[in-house]
Amino acid sequence: MLKQAVVLVGGLGTRRKPLLEVAGKPFLDYILDELARYSVIEDILLLVGHRAASVVDRYEGRRWRGARVKVMVESTQLGTGGALQHASSQLENSFFLLDGHAFFEFNLLDLAIQKGRSSALVQMALRDDHHGDRYRRVLLEHDMVRTFLPAGAQVNGPINSGVYCVDRRALDFIRETPCSLDQHIFPELAERGLLKATRYDGFFIDIEIPSDFERAQIELPAALRRPAVFFDRDGVLNVDKSYVHEIEDFEWIPGAREAIKLCNDLGCLTFVVTNQAGVARGHYGIDAVHRLHDWMNRELAEVGAHIDEFQYCPYHEDGVVAEWRRASDRRKPAPGMILDCLKGWPVRKEASILIGDKPHDLEAASAAGIRGYLFEGGNLADFVRPLLRS
Which ranges in the chain are annotated with CATH 3.90.550.10?
4-223
> What residues are paired with 252 via a beta bridge?
238
Alpha-carbon separation of residue 267 from 28, 219, 280, 306 (angstroms): 20, 16, 35, 12
For the chain, the straight-line distance linking the first and the last C-alpha, in angstroms and rounded, comes to: 33
Q: Which pairs count as long-range contacts for 217-224, CB under 8 Å and 24+ apart, including other chains?
A: 217/22, 217/23, 218/23, 220/22, 220/23, 220/30, 220/103, 221/22, 221/23, 221/346, 223/105, 224/30, 224/105, 224/346
Tens of pLDDT, residues 278-300: 999 999 999 999 999 999 999 99
Query: 234, 308, 357, 361: which one is catalytic?
Result: 234
The CA distance from 55 to 98, in Å, is 16
Tens of pLDDT, residues 205-261: 999 999 999 999 999 999 999 999 999 999 999 999 999 999 999 999 999 999 999
Question: Which class would CATH give 228-388?
Answer: alpha beta
Bigger pLDDT: 284 or 17? 284
Identify the pLDDT of residue 124: 97
Q: Which pairs count as long-range contacts for 250-256, CB under 8 Å and 24+ apart, including other chains?
A: 250/292, 250/295, 250/296, 252/299, 253/380, 254/378, 254/379, 254/380, 255/378, 255/379, 255/380, 255/381, 255/382, 255/383, 256/380, 256/381
The answer to whether the beta carbons of residues 3 and 96 sit under 8 Å apart is no
Query: 110, 206, 232, 308: which one is catalytic?
Result: 232
CATH T-level fold of 4-223: Spore Coat Polysaccharide Biosynthesis Protein SpsA; Chain A (3.90.550)
The CA distance from 336 to 357, in Å, is 18
Using DSSP bridges, classify how beta strands 353-356 and 309-313 pair: parallel, antiparallel or unpaired.
unpaired
Q: Which band of pLDDT confidence, cut at 50, 70 and 90, is reported for residue 11?
A: very low
Which ranges in the chain are annotated with CATH 3.40.50.1000?
228-388
Identify the pLDDT of residue 131: 75
Q: Is the pLDDT of residue 51 over 80?
A: no
Rounded to an integer, what is the distance from CA 229 to the centroid of its chain? 15
Is the bond preceding 333 in cis, omega lying within 30 degrees of 0? yes
Tens of pLDDT, residues 315-333: 999 999 999 999 999 999 9
Identify the pLDDT of residue 150: 79
232 belongs to the catalytic site: yes
Mean pLDDT taken over the chain:
94
The answer to whether the beta carbons of residues 259 and 381 sit under 8 Å apart is yes
